[in-house]
Structure 1
Amino acid sequence: MTAAASSGRQADLHGEPTREAIAQLVQAFYEDIRAHPELGPVFGAVIGDHWSAHLERMVEFWCTVMLGTHSFKGNVFGKHMQIDGVRPAHFLSWLSLWRQHTTQRFDGLARERLQQTAAGIARNLYYGYFGVFPRFRYEGTAAIDVLPD
């Protein structure tokens, strides 16, 4: 058994995860989002009973990013700018959960790309909401502070 297998991580073959691994990541991540005391209500207010469709779209998004499938079509920024009640702390919680899940499941370049892409998305959305580009500060997998860039 490899170290990656024994730690529960997906194998990091050529730095690219599989569609199945991405689907597992998305499912587990959004289970934690739904259960989160601050993020759950914000996401739930927008998604309502349409979690299955949202998860499918998120799998397509991350497959487009990581596997080059070009299967995601949409306006990430525009969709998110319609959400009310977003606070700076939400970005820290979202990034922390994402980093925890990607660290548990991936190694090397795949983990780095997943985390950097999420940080870039968070940075742009944060700017859209609050008018400043943030610099997120981390301790381990936890995003602990937002500093002006």
Structure 2
Amino acid sequence: MSEIVIRTASARQGDIARRAEAMGVDDVFISDLVETFYARVQANETLGPVFEAAIGDEWTPHLHTMKQFWSSIALNAGTYGGRPIPAHHKHLDKIKSEHFSIWLALFAQTLHDIAPSPEAAAFFLERAERIGENFQSILFK
């Protein structure tokens, strides 16, 4: 019979930090990922206008929020407290289901180009795929 092990939140946080460090993931990488990815989004002929219509000249706050979001996912930082579905739902006149495959392809290419390790790329891509699937299932049901 296996023994039940109860771990503290700080022990779990330490495990997450060690795993991230082993993959080469830290706040600097997350910042680079967000900045590089969204520069590509802005330059993309399909996604650029969609994001521009939604974000306008508020890119700095959006990038900050996205850094908090990914830091919370990868590092368990707890810095993101947003509600992404309602934020996207109010732009359904611009967002189409097919945009998610373009978004994901750009994200995957960005990870391929700058991720510090294959493990880091796989970690972020797996989560991005789940996020995209979740958004589509909620926004376009």
TM-score interval, normalised by the smaller of the two chains: 0.7 to 0.9
The alpha-carbon distance between structure 1 residues 91 and 58, as it changes in their structure 2 partners (threshold 3 A), is: same
1:59-84: CA deviations, max 9, x gaps? 11101111111001111122111112
* Counterpart selection for 2:33 from 2, 11, 25: 25
> What TM-score do you get using the length of structure 1 for normalisation?
0.75
Give yes or no for the alignment of 1:101 onto 2:110.
yes
Cα distance in 2 between the residues matched to 1:16 and 1:73: 25
Partner of 1:39: 47
2:102 is the alignment partner of 1:85: no
Name the larger-Rg structure: 2
TM value normalised by structure 2: 0.79
Residue 118, structure 1, aligned to residue 128, structure 2 = yes
**How many equivalent residue pairs?**
120
Q: Which amino acid aligns with 1:40?
A: G
- Distance in 1 between residues matched to 2:31 and 2:127, nearest whole Å: 17
Matched, 1:70 2:78: yes
CA distance in 1, matches of 2:46, 2:62: 19
The share of aligned pairs that are identical, in percent, is 30
Tell me the residue number matched to 1:143: none
Computed over aligned residues only, the root mean square deviation of the Cα atoms, in angstroms, reads 1.4
- Which structure shows the bigger proportion of residues in helix conformation? 2
Equivalence for 2:7 = none
How many angstroms apart in 1 are the aligned matches of 2:37 and 2:21?
22
Highest RCO, 1 vs 2 (Cα 8 Å, sep ≥ 6): 2
